[in-house]
Amino acid sequence: MAMHEASPLPKDQRQDSPLVRRLLIAVVLAFLALFLLAPLLVIVVEALARGADAFWLALQDADVLASIRLTLLVAAIVLPINAVIGIAAAWAVAKYRFFGKSLLLTLIDLPFSVSPVIAGLIYVLLFGAQGMFGGWLQGHQISIVFALPAIVLATLFVTFPFVARELIPHMQALGNVDEEAALTLGATGWQTFVRVTLPNIKWSLLYGLLLCNARAMGEFGAVAVVSGKIRGLTTTMPLAVEILYNEYMSVAAFSVAAVLATLALVTLVVKSVLEWRYADDLAANHRPDRTRA
């Protein structure tokens, strides 16, 4: 599609003049450098401000290690639950027609339009010391708020839509034909799901889980409200960043931040690779443009 400037052929009507093109590209790159690249750079520079040794030492602090373990634990609990719920929701929504479908879709998407702080708040209202079930829980010595259960619940809330959102458009596009074929060939419902549906949706499931994981490990607002920030016990990595930063332990704060930023970059790379390589196996809205010159 790109045409040589000296070409005697008529000018491509979609091509803007080189001056406009260069100007617009420059403006965009400058904007992105300021807002995306600079923050990333500052994290690296601040983390290494006292050298690589200080960086490694900061990460070996007992509380930091505990926060890494907690973050991994929360993700390990949240991901499988979200996978099951997401697949179930997508199966119900994409494979059948029923009255109330658009209401259900709106409800599934609801957590995306709720502030993370509110996501944390609602669990405190339910399970906090003065919450609706607070007295009962205290009487039975069950702790939910300021403990792992509330961190998991708040994380489940903010990540609730990710998997279903990825799977629904993909499964709708695939239709029911493969499943019908398997059923006419004598497969049971479970055989059909495991041997036909799951292989068809595996890349979009992975894509959804990838985004879900990034959010689960990085969630701050919701978790901050319910965790109580007990050091070494209920502090996730993003909370550790906050605590260290507020205590003016800049290198330590930025070291943990650098680990989280690396996670974000890895997520972006894997996500892009999935989009490039498995475009056909992802929901239509992620297919990169392949018609482009």
Partner 1 sequence: MASLHPAVLPHDGPKASGLTGRWQALVPFRPDSSVLPGFTLAMGLTLTALSLIVLIPLTALALKAGDLGFSGLWALLTTPRVLAALKLSFALSFAAALVNLLFGVLIAWVLVRYDFIGRKWVDAAIDLPFALPTAVAGIALSALYAPNGWIGAVLARYGIKIGYTPTGIWVALVFIGIPFVVRMVQPVLQEIESEIEEAAALLGASRFQTAMRVLLPAIAPAAFTGFTLAFARAVGEYGSVIFIAGNVPMVSEIAPLLIVIKLEQYDYSGAAGVGLLMLAGSFAIILLANAGLALWGRRHGHA
Partner 2 sequence: MSVAVQIDRVSKGFSTYPALKGVSLSIEPGELVALLGPSGSGKTTLLRLIAGLEQADGGAITFNGIDTRRLSLRERRIGFVFQNYALFKHMTVAENIAFGLSVRPRSQRPDRQAIQKRIDDLLDLVQLGGLQQRFPAQLSGGQRQRVALARALAIEPQVLLLDEPFGALDAQVRKDLRQWLRDLHRRTGHTTLFVTHDQEEALELADRVAILNQGLIEQVGTPDQVYDHPATAFVCGFLGEANRIPVEIKNGQALFRNRPLLSLKGTNATGGAELFVRPQHLKIDSPELAALAGDVTLIRRHGAVRRAEVEVQGVDRPLEVDLASAVAPDLGERIGLRVGQGHVFAGGLTPSFN
Near partner 2 by CB under 8 A: residue from 54, 68, 187, 270: 187
Structure tokens at 220: 């701050």
Which residue's CB is nearer to partner 2, number 138 or number 191?
191
Partner in contact with 230, chosen from partner 1, partner 2, none, beta carbon below 5 to 8 Å by kind: none
**28 scored as a contact of partner 1 (CB under 8 A):** yes
Structure tokens at 152: 């998991």
Min separation Cβ 209 and partner 2, Å? 19
Near partner 1 by CB under 8 A: residue from 64, 205, 224, 274: 224
Partner in contact with 243, chosen from partner 2, partner 1, none, beta carbon below 5 to 8 Å by kind: none
Residues 6+ apart with CB under 8 A from 102: none
User: To which H or E segment does residue 271 belong?
Assistant: helix 250-277
Near partner 1 by CB under 8 A: residue from 64, 167, 206, 260: 260
Of 50-58, 62-70, 183-191, 199-207, the window that binds partner 1 (rule: CB under 8 A) is 183-191
Determine the 3-state secondary structure of 180 from DSSP.
Answer: helix
State the Cα–Cα distance between residues 210 and 271, nearest whole angstrom: 7
**186 scored as a contact of partner 2 (CB under 8 A):** yes
What would the x/- binding string for partner 1 be over residues 51 to 70, using CB under 8 A?
Answer: --------------------
Of 50-58, 136-144, 178-186, 200-208, the window that binds partner 1 (rule: CB under 8 A) is 178-186
Number of CB atoms found within 10 A of residue 2's CB = 7
| HEC assignment per residue over 103-134 | HHHHHHHHHHHCCHHHHHHHHHHHHCCCCCCH
Which residue's CB is nearer to partner 1, number 226 or number 281?
226
Near partner 1 by CB under 8 A: residue from 74, 75, 79, 116: 116
Structure tokens at 80: 């499988």
- Evaluate whether 171 touches 90 at the Cβ level (below 8 Å): yes
Measure CA of the first residue to CA of the last residue in the chain; give whole Å. Answer: 5
Structure tokens at 209: 């889980």
Near partner 2 by CB under 8 A: residue from 46, 178, 242, 275: 178
Which residue's CB is nearer to partner 1, number 131 or number 232?
131
**194 scored as a contact of partner 1 (CB under 8 A):** no
Min separation Cβ 87 and partner 1, Å? 8
- Evaluate whether 139 touches 105 at the Cβ level (below 8 Å): no
Number of CB atoms found within 10 A of residue 164's CB = 25
Of 54-62, 88-96, 135-143, 199-207, the window that binds partner 1 (rule: CB under 8 A) is 88-96
Instruction: Classify residue 146 as left (phi > 0), alpha (psi -120 to 50) or beta.
Output: left
Q: Which residues bind partner 2 (CB under 8 A)?
A: 177-178, 180-188, 191, 195-196, 199-200
